[in-house]
Amino acid sequence: MSNLEDLYREIILDHYRSPRNRGELATPPAHKVEGFNPLCGDEVTVYLDVEDGVLKDIKMTGHGCSISQSSSSLMSAAVKGKSLDDVQETITTFKELMTASGASADEETGAKNLRSLGELAALAGVVKFPVRIKCATLAWNTLQQGLTEISA
């Protein structure tokens, strides 16, 4: 079962069972953005409260598999309170992790990226299950869309 344990790390199961930053924010002032995965029916709604270039608060609702839900939860914990530049950098680093090239990047960069991701690194095993990558990236793509809408 080594493959499965790689995918379903304890941190992932923990975030699935007790998702962080679950709920809604009043809109306005918060910005609301929805993401769907039409193939598997996963849904996520992200509420973003941005003030002075800082993501002051983030809340999320939705339903889906353990990978999509834990990824949303881990994401919210990772980006809450960060400057928008830092949020953008975290998105970029995470999405690199979810590509084959990210996984096979040279060891030094790879290790540095993993360290910078903290708990998010628990999702690194997903890349070995290509069908599940879209589960892990759903919340991130939705967050990215929200940030683009806010800056527009």
Partner 1 sequence: MASGQRVSSFNARRVRNDIPQLTRQVHGRTITYLDSGASSLQPRAVIDAMSTYYRLRHANVHRGVYQTANEATEAYEDARAAVGRFIGAPAPADEIVFTKNTTESINLIAKVWGSANLGPGDTVLVTEMEHHANIVPWFQLREATGVDVRFIPVGDDYRLDLTNLDELLRGVKLVSVTGMSNVLGTKNNVRQLADAAHGVGALIAVDGAQSVSHGPVDVTNLDIDFLAFSGHKMLGPTGIGVLWTRQSVLDPMGPFLGGGGMIADVRLDGFTPAKGVARFEAGTPPIAEAVGLHAAVRYLEGLGMDNVAAHERSLTEDALTRLEEAFDERIRVIGPPTVIDRGGVISLDVEGVHPHDVAQVLDEFGVCVRPGHHCAKPLMRRFHLAATARASFGPYSLSDDTTVLIEALEHALKMFG
| Shortest distance, position 142 Cβ to partner 1, whole Å | 17
| Shortest distance, position 46 Cβ to partner 1, whole Å | 19
Residue numbers of the site for partner 1 (CB under 8 A)? Answer: 1, 3-4, 7-8, 13, 16, 39-42, 63-67, 129, 132, 135
CA distances from 8 to 35, 83, 107, 141 (A): 23, 30, 23, 21
> How far is Cα 22 from Cα 64, in angstroms, rounded to an integer?
14
Q: Which CB atom, from 25 or from 67, has the smaller least distance to partner 1?
A: 67
| Shortest distance, position 16 Cβ to partner 1, whole Å | 8
Q: Which CB atom, from 39 or from 152, has the smaller least distance to partner 1?
A: 39
Please tell me whether the peptide bond between 38 and the residue prior to it is cis, using omega within 30 degrees of 0: no
Which residue's structure tokens are 């199961």? 13
> How far is Cα 122 from Cα 12, in angstroms, rounded to an integer?
7
Q: Which CB atom, from 62 or from 147, has the smaller least distance to partner 1?
A: 62
